[in-house]
Structure 1
């Protein structure tokens, strides 16, 4: 189970979401094997196809700094039930994470659901490397 400190940081980070259109902040927190933390928020754009999700923001920040070894990702949305990543984020997660990497989904009341990347995207499109 994710620690309370990680969940508190995840929720606090959601204030940085840029959501002038949906007003729906999402936050992601990615933990590396060395204990570093990379955060991300959703960043919207008037051209909706150019919007970037919180999960991909955190992943791309880490990868752009050469970090490729992760232990877990936590995802928060201001929802009644824990939020789940979209299909695009699931595919990016499958590209950069092991299928057994822990994914913790967090609701606004801080309730959680734990799953894995493999459970979120079975039969992923990853065997082309």
Structure 2
């Protein structure tokens, strides 16, 4: 269960991260804050590149930071954009790898919570380990 205090804290951390985004091409900055089951919070920002496919989204930066520190189980992630945009398909798939029940908080720059859903809500019928196991049979 996610408390109102943690919702607010995650959104604030994502707002703070948003300010450090590197988005010179799209000018669409994104900040994220990921809460692990151990209570640690990892933030992330989108990092663009002139070679567009090399751009990395804020959500994946936060997940990769957490995983590189040994975290594998996530409780929630807050994503902040100027207009409340949701994670892209690649980010949805990366989040699904670590738990379809992870809560996703979508907020705007003013900190307004626009949506609260789960990764499963964002990516129904996600491809996962079970699909790979079935392909091996």
TM over 0.5: same fold? yes
1:42-88 CA-to-partner distances (Å, cap 9, x unmatched) read 00000000000000000011111111121111111011xx2200011
Q: For residue 35 of structure 2, what is the aligned residue in structure 1? A: 31
Q: For residue 57 of structure 2, what is the aligned residue in structure 1? A: 53
1:91-128 CA-to-partner distances (Å, cap 9, x unmatched) read 111112x2121110111232211000001000111022
Matched, 1:89 2:78: no
Q: 1:119 to 1:3 in 2, by over 3 A?
A: closer
Q: For residue 118 of structure 1, what is the aligned residue in structure 2? A: 120
Q: Secondary structure at the match of 2:31?
A: strand
Gaps of 5+ in 1: none
1:2-27 CA-to-partner distances (Å, cap 9, x unmatched) read 53232222101111111111111101
Q: For residue 107 of structure 2, what is the aligned residue in structure 1? A: 106
Q: For residue 73 of structure 1, what is the aligned residue in structure 2? A: 77
1:19-40 CA-to-partner distances (Å, cap 9, x unmatched) read 1111111011000111111000
Report the TM-score, using the length of structure 2 for normalisation. 0.86
Gaps of 5+ in 2: none
Q: Which has the larger radius of gyration?
A: 2
CA RMSD of aligned residues (A): 1.3
Report the TM-score, using the length of structure 1 for normalisation. 0.91
Of Structure 1 and Structure 2, the greater helix share is in 2
Q: Equivalents in 2 of 1:12, 1:92: separation in Å?
A: 23
Q: Equivalents in 2 of 1:8, 1:118: separation in Å?
A: 24
